[in-house]
Structure 1
Amino acid sequence: MDNPRIDSKGQGPTGKENVMRWQVAVGSSQDAAAAVRAGALGLDLQTAPPERVRAICAQVRNQADGIVIDAALPALAGPSALQARLQPLRDAGVDRIAVPLGEGAGAVPLLRLIAAARPEAGQPLLMPVLALPLLAGAPQAGAVDRLEALASLARQQRVRALLIDLETGAPEPGAIWRQRPVGSRLPLLVRDLQAAGIEVGLRVAVRREQIGRLADWAPDFATLVCQERGAHGEPVLDVDRLLERLRDPRTPQCRPALAA
């Protein structure tokens, strides 16, 4: 699961171009199977119940090797609620558990608790999720400052991996790149975290024409959030669109051969 870190020129310690791992946010076994067939190297199981997480993990492990599976927890009231939520997922077969820090006063103690947790062999890694909430398509006042402050604390606490969620309240795919100072400050934040040895991921929905811009940010992994909706408003994974994105020449990654 380790990826080469990048320097200010977008290159790893050996001088090779940084390679980003593409993941897909899924909520069902059907979507998970489709994403793996399409060539995704990781899955983000969106707040699924533990029994569904366990079933999807078993299915994916039988389908392909080397797929990174994250399970996302719902928003927590604070550190006291974390342990109760974690236990059912510890043996479900995931590689990491994404823990949202939230917007309240519990964010800092929750981050400290996550950083202090050192999983035993075979146990999933806890990964804090820092959200950049959008209000009417723009970051809320002070949201970028708060994100940077939490990221600074994550560096001090030496967390191993961190996910930045750019989809909270986003009105449409790619809205985040039209915001300033987000467009200039977040890429620098990603690189600062990577320079500290932290694996950095972005959760975002993008249109095809925006993928090259996301690749320029050079996170270690990027989770595509589905924007298509079914007849009843539920998210629907469009495999053809996913294939188009993964095959874009501007988004190289080491991935298995795409299935026919």
Structure 2
Amino acid sequence: MDNPRIDRQGPTGKEDVMRWQVAVRSSQDAAAAVRAGALGLELQVAAPERVRAICTQVRNQADGVLIGVTLPQAGSTAALQARLQPLLEAGADRIAVPLGDAATAAPLLRLLATLDRRERGRGGPALVPVLALPVHELAGGTAVDRVESLASLARAEGLRAVLLDLEAGAADTPGAVWRLRPLPARVPALIRALQGAGIEVGVQVAVRREDIGRLVDWAPDSATLVCQERDAQGDPVLDVDRLLERLRDPRTPQRQPALAG
């Protein structure tokens, strides 16, 4: 299919468009998403051998697909280093690391920034902190307060990108953020502030066709689409037909990956 695009004014005042990515859990899902026209994948697997196999498969299937990997949350800097090291040579363009909301979040972010500077110098993957915005905390603003503090630290440490997770704590109700009334205004404000500081901002969220316009209004640099469909065991299922239906909406944004290479 043709990749639909939507133009918008970016934080620098230049015309820009958003990139969409698809969260996948298997090589079959990855192949289906690339056939559907995805220019970006977020692998929800952490085993280095699986990551390497899927990266090789995708590179053989299509050119220019940004491949990200999301790690499980690490409880300490030592645990993070142990999990990261085997993945650095697995072929991904980006490794996303959930920081959580514990006292270890700031030390993890500082370590991530140090390692990201090293990887940048050697042409390795971008290392991206995942900042959780649990939907049940958005109304009161506590989650945004916490994320704003970590985002300030990310700016100070010179990180290239951050990923805002709007699905944290919403496993049973994917896309719940869109049902909040009113929608939290501080989230798009946070996105703009980070972009203004030169940080690429991704958003991870489940999105229905009718939510696309609101996501575009928030204007992140990328959006990772989380599957809303579930199988009999409650596990996410990539339904390519539903994905295509969403992406055929003429407002759906798309651009080439900025972090690849």
Q: Which residue of 1 aligns with 2:41?
A: 43
1:141 Cα offset (Å): 6.5
Query: Taking structure 1 as the reference length, what is the TM-score of the superposition?
Result: 0.88
The 8 Å contact of residues 109 and 129 in structure 2, kept in 1 or not, is answered as yes
- Rounded Cα–Cα distance in structure 1 between residues aligned with 2:183 and 2:45: 27
Task: Give 2:160's aligned residue.
Answer: 160
SS of 2:203 mapped into structure 1 = strand
| 1:22 alignment partner in structure 2 | 20
Offset of residue 14 of structure 1? 6.4
Structure 1 residues 84 and 140 mapped into 2: Cα distance closer, same or farther (>3 Å)? farther
Q: Which of residues 85, 100, 103 is equivalent to 1:102?
A: 100
- Report SS of the residue matched to 2:184: helix
Q: Which residue of 1 aligns with 2:110?
A: 112
User: How many aligned positions are there?
Assistant: 245
Q: Which runs of 5+ in 2 are unaligned?
A: 1-7, 257-261
Distance 1:71 1:140, change over 3 A: farther
Q: Could you say if the C-alpha distance between residues 179 and 149 of structure 1 is closer, same or farther in structure 2, counting changes exceeding 3 Å?
A: farther
Shift of 1:21: 0.6
- In structure 2, the residue matched to 1:150 is 150
1:186 corresponds to which letter in structure 2?
V
Contact 1:173 1:207 in 2 (8 A): no
Q: CA deviation at 1:149?
A: 1.1
After superposition, residues 64-75 of structure 1 pair within 5 angstroms as: 64-75=62-73
Q: Equivalent residue for 2:85?
A: 87
Question: After the TM superposition, which residues 181-192 of structure 1 pair with which residues of structure 2 at under 5 Å, given as runs?
Answer: 183-192=184-193
Q: 2:175, 2:228 within 8 Å by CA — same for their partners in 1?
A: no
Q: Does the CA contact (< 8 Å) of 1:132 and 1:139 recur in 2?
A: no
Matched, 1:57 2:55: yes
Matched, 1:243 2:244: yes
**Which segment is superposed worse, 71-80 or 137-146?**
137-146
In 1, the alpha carbon distance for the partners of 2:73 and 2:248 equals: 34
Q: 1:223 to 1:207 in 2, by over 3 A?
A: same
Question: CA offset at residue 203 of structure 1?
Answer: 0.3
1:196 aligned partner: 197
Shift of 1:181: 7.4
Unaligned residue ranges in structure 1 (runs of 5+)? 1-8, 256-260
Deviation at 1:29, TM superposition (A): 0.3
Aligned-partner Cα distance in 2 for 1:88–1:202: 26
Deviation at 1:150, TM superposition (A): 0.9
CA contact (8 A) 1:133 1:139 kept: no
C-alpha separation between the residues in 1 aligned to 2:66 and 2:167?
Answer: 21
- Judged with a 3 Å threshold, the aligned counterparts in structure 2 of structure 1 residues 198 and 206 are, in CA distance, closer, same or farther, namely same
Identity of aligned residues (%): 67
Instruction: Report the residue type matching 2:148 in the other structure.
Output: E
Mapped contact 1:25–1:45 kept (Cα < 8 A): yes
Does the CA-based 8 Å contact 1:39-1:246 persist in structure 2? Answer: no
Taking structure 2 as the reference length, the TM-score comes to 0.87
